[in-house]
Amino acid sequence: MGLSLSPLALIVLLACLTAFHQCNGNPFRKNNPFHHHHHPRFAKHNYRDALTKSIMFFEGQRSGRLPSNQRITWRRDSGLSDGAAMHVDLVGGYYDAGDNVKFGFPMAFTTTMLSWSVIEFGGLMKGELQNAKQAIRWATDYLLKATAHPDTIYVQVGDANQDHSCWERPEDMDTPRSVFKIDKSSPGSDVAGETAAALAAASLVFKRSDPTYSKLLTRRAIRVFQFADKYRGPYSNGLKKVVCPFYCSYSGYQDELLWGAAWLHRATRNPTYLNYIQVNGQILGAAEFDNTFGWDNKHVGARILLSKAFLVQRLKSLHDYKGHADNFICSLIPGAPFSSAQYTPGGLLFKMSDSNMQYVTSTSFLLLTYAKYLTSAHQIVNCGGTRVTPKRLRTIAKKQVDYLLGDNPLKMSYMVGYGPRYPQRIHHRGSSLPSVANHPAKIQCSAGFNFMKSQSPNPNILVGAVIGGPDQKDRFPDQRSDYEQSEPATYINAPLVGALTYLAHSFGQL
């Protein structure tokens, strides 16, 4: 059937087309500098709400004495004598996941990624910038305590095996708060290199707002990196019994030395670090084809970070890092030559069954960050003849984040508290046990398992927690005992903060 319009309707239509801005009702189109890149004008998701929640989650993971502005109010003070066993003050920091141990290796990586999120996208964060900085400072204050003594880093508080034999709130902990360290005789270049990276990255976050604190972080990062480089060895050699299998350093320590040097180069602009990277890059695995970026392996992150120095600062000597970064990108592009990544039938990047979502969030962050660098240098990625534009990288990242937020076969958000349907029984002590406010009496070690085994939803909502996620067939049982799929972790959320900031801004939500 043909469409016929009355003369009046035609005039109205023409007027509308001419004055497109007035009729399409989108106030963000004109003044949004990202609008020319991509994206329809209306987002399916409230990325700003997800961003707020993704940062709030860190407050639920806090150890130590909680501040008066604590927003996750079912938590209380905990671990107030941490470090006392070794006569050091190790109060504070974060519980990495659903238990009550403070593991320094993933905590440092979380700090680096939260800092990188702010470094790249903090200018777009508006009101959330302050919250993100507080989340970083909660970690760096602790890392400064852990590195207070030269050539020594306190890398863990709590005995994981004993902690895991109880199911209790952090406020009730009575398992040993044993303290473990690395030093000259029992080195750990991996955890030391990551700690140096965290301190260096955070120094950039505070450079303008708190220059004194920023300088302290830089000085400490330099000292810690020297220790990492001079006394080489993986920390899981000397501390195997306590860090394995939880946070064993499977990828070795070379990636952390390269990563730590890359962050110090960015933070200090000291040519010493550029020279270090040029001399040691190949030995430290710069060109390896390991395409997994997470708390254990930093090679891909170092490649992307160093490619910026070539692309944006025109440091010709780092030319190879663009090629190394491109190799990683090509591994992700479905259908491109050299593509090796696996995706679930619903479209989720799938790296491994245990806590897969950490690879989804870290990869999405790297895609958006690399797209930013490529755009400013007017470059693309060439995958064996297939041209891959920054826009394509952003589209892939957005698809991954959208899946996480609910665009998936189960229509389930994998962020607690976001959207109409999300996991109810996450593997997390504090969330699954009655809060101190509702149950002031101590819940003993083994008594907690009754709550762990129950089918009831968790009584306390750990807002913003992103959990391990679905299996490779997009299935998710929502079982509390299933830590591989149901446990949240700080290093899942940290890179997501940057990705959500970018998406919220590009849709005019910030």
288 vs 302, 335, 497, CA distance in Å? 12, 22, 28
pLDDT of residue 337: 85
Q: Summarize pLDDT for 408-421 with one digit per residue, the tens.
A: 999 999 999 999 99
In the predicted structure, residue 17 carries a pLDDT above the cut 90:
no
- When comparing pLDDT for 476 and 33, which is higher? 476
Q: What is the pLDDT of residues 428-453, one digit of tens each?
A: 999 999 999 999 999 999 999 999 99
Q: Which tops the pLDDT comparison, 19 or 227? A: 227
Q: Which residue has the higher pLDDT, 289 or 265?
A: 265
Q: How far apart are the first and last CA of the chain?
A: 44
Please tell me the predicted confidence (pLDDT) of residue 336: 87
What whole-number percentage of the chain has pLDDT above 90?
Answer: 88
pLDDT at position 206 = 98
The whole-angstrom separation of Cα 210 and Cα 360 is 33
Q: Is 415 helix (H, G, I), strand (E, B) or coil?
A: strand
The sheet with strand 102-103 has its strands ordered as 102-103, 152-157, 179-183
State how beta strands 381-383 and 152-157 pair: unpaired
pLDDT for res 64: 98
Query: What domains can be seen in the chain, in order of their start residue?
Result: 47-506 (1.50.10.10)
Q: Which of 418, 431, 433 is nearest to 493 (CA)?
A: 418
Q: Is the pLDDT score of 23 beyond 70?
A: no
> Mean pLDDT, to the nearest integer, of 101-125?
98
Residue tagged active-site, from 99, 172, 487, 505: 487
Calculated CA dihedral for residues 162, 148, 63, 451, nearest 10 degrees: -10
Please state the rounded mean pLDDT for residues 116-127: 97
**pLDDT-wise least confident of 116-120, 310-314, 341-345, 367-371:** 310-314
Task: Tell me the C-alpha distance between 12 and 10, whole Å.
Answer: 5
Distance CA 28, CA 449 (A): 51
Whether the CB-CB separation of 448 and 167 falls below 8 Å is answered with yes
3-state secondary structure of 502: helix
pLDDT, mean of residues 199-228: 98
Rounded to an integer, the average pLDDT of 137-153 is 98
For residue 364, the model assigns a pLDDT of: 98
- Segment 385-404 shows an average pLDDT of 97
Angle 42-45-49 from CA coordinates, rounded to 5°? 120
Task: State whether residue 370 is helix, strand or coil.
Answer: helix
Which whole-number Å values give the CA distances from 461 to 92, 154, 433, in the listed order?
22, 31, 11
The strand ranges marked E within 334-462 are 381-383, 386-388
- What mean pLDDT is reported for the chain? 92
C-alpha to C-alpha distance for 132 and 363, rounded to whole angstroms: 20
On whether the CB atoms of residues 251 and 171 are closer than 8 A, the answer is no
**Cβ partners under 8 Å of residue 113, min gap 6:** 362, 365, 491, 494, 495, 498
Q: What's the confidence (pLDDT) of residue 28?
A: 37
Instruction: Please write the tens of the pLDDT for every residue from 344-390.
Output: 999 999 999 999 999 999 999 999 999 999 999 999 999 998 999 99
Q: Could you give the 3-state DSSP secondary structure of residue 64?
A: strand
The sign of the CA dihedral 303, 305, 306, 309 is: positive
Is the pLDDT at 24 greater than 70? The verdict is no
Whether residue 2 is predicted with pLDDT greater than 90 in this model: the reply is no
427 is catalytic: yes
pLDDT digits (tens, 9 = 90+) for 453-463: 999 999 999 99
pLDDT band at 6 (very low <50, low <70, confident <90, very high): low
DSSP for residue 152? E
Amino acid 12: pLDDT? 42
Q: Give the predicted TM-score (pTM) of the model.
A: 0.91
Residue from 183, 320, 478, 482 carrying the catalytic annotation: 478
The single residue of 324, 427, 428, 505 carrying the catalytic annotation is 427
CA distance 107 to 191: 10
Q: pLDDT tens digit string along 25-79? A: 343 333 343 444 444 567 899 999 999 999 999 999 999 999 999 999 999 999 9
Instruction: Kindly state the tokens that stand for 40.
Output: 């329809």
